[in-house]
Amino acid sequence: MNDNENILARRIIALLDLTSLNADDTDAGIVALCHKALTPAGPVAAVCVYPQFVSLARRTLDALGGTQVQVATVCNFPTGDAPLAEVLEQVSEALDNGANEIDVVYPYRALIAGDEQPGRDLVATCKALCRGRALLKVILETGELNALLIRQASIDAIEAGADFIKTSTGKVKVNATAEAAELMLHVIADTNPQVGFKPAGGMRTLSDAAVYLWLAERILGKDWVSPRHLRFGASSLLDNTLQHLGLSAQPPAQGAY
């Protein structure tokens, strides 16, 4: 591996939201995820888990000395069509349990049906709960939207207070794509460059992630790229990136919490 690839791999790790959002997730699996987040090449930016695991993830990371790793969770996930009151209850509980970041699914089906207001209302009310407590990352589910609707959802989410706009849940057929990413990054550049961007789903290799890093640098500049502005949502990307560095994640000792 040459020096440039080495630098790239380490940059990707520092921007990674290491994710486990599986129906069969267990306490032991989340503990292992937290151990994995503290890699031999440095910590990832965040771990992203279901709401019921937020407290466990925060306690485990803190016990391991990983206080700098953020705990993200998902709300209104994955379909984006829960009643607003239910979503707000999810967000509030996650915040109380120690979540540093909330990844909430935008009501994209309402937008497809021609109604923009549910998306604006959801983001604005979630932002009111998160303000001063957590970053709000809004999942647009771009694989279900055409280009016009991706642009509209991006603008509406940003205007309503999103700290990040995110491509996908990882639970539909089409997840992050370079085309959707380019469109969303241009909206950020044109409206509010303080907003971050998170491609998610389908990234498995260092070269997959490098495409989005390159797009972000081209559209918003190298100085824009940091964990505050760019994240990669993935579950298997870390293993491939560590392999490029000749490293591997260290599993926890048996029974370790």
Inter-residue contact 176 to 184 (CB < 8 Å): no
Q: Is 103 an active-site residue?
A: yes
Q: Is 127 an active-site residue?
A: no
Inter-residue contact 57 to 33 (CB < 8 Å): yes
Closest C-alpha to 169, from 228, 81, 241: 81
SS3 per-residue string spanning 11-78: HHHHCEEEEECCCCCCHHHHHHHHHHHEECCEECCEEEECHHHHHHHHHHHHHCCCCCCEEEEEECCC
SS3 per-residue string spanning 225-243: CCCCCECEEECCHHHHHHH
Q: What is the DSSP string of 126-190?
A: HHHHHTTT-EEEEE--GGGS-HHHHHHHHHHHHHHT-SEEE---S-SSS---HHHHHHHHHHHHH
**What single letter denotes the amino acid at residue 133?**
R
Q: Which of 103, 156, 163, 208 is catalytic?
A: 103
- The domain made up of 3-245 has a fold known as TIM Barrel (3.20.20)
Domain boundaries, the chain: 3-245
Cβ atoms within 10 Å, residue 85: 9
Ramachandran quadrant class, 217 (left: phi over 0; alpha: psi -120 to 50; beta: rest): alpha
pTM of the predicted structure, to 2 decimals = 0.96
Q: What is the pLDDT of residue 2?
A: 80
Q: What is the pLDDT of residue 4?
A: 86
Sign (positive/negative) of CA torsion 48, 53, 55, 59? negative
Q: Which of 36, 127, 137, 166 is catalytic?
A: 166
Q: Is 173 an active-site residue?
A: no
- CA distances 137 to 8, 63, 199, 255, Å, are 24, 26, 11, 33
Q: Which of 36, 127, 137, 198 is catalytic?
A: 198
Residue 205 CB-density burial (10 A; 0-12 exposed, 13-18 middle, 19+ buried):
middle
Residue-level pLDDT, tens digit, the chain, 257 residues: 688 889 999 999 999 999 999 999 999 999 999 999 999 999 999 999 999 999 999 999 999 999 999 999 999 999 999 999 999 999 999 999 999 999 999 999 999 999 999 999 999 999 999 999 999 999 999 999 999 999 999 999 999 999 999 999 999 999 999 999 999 999 999 999 999 999 999 999 999 999 999 999 999 999 999 999 999 999 999 999 999 999 987 666 544 55
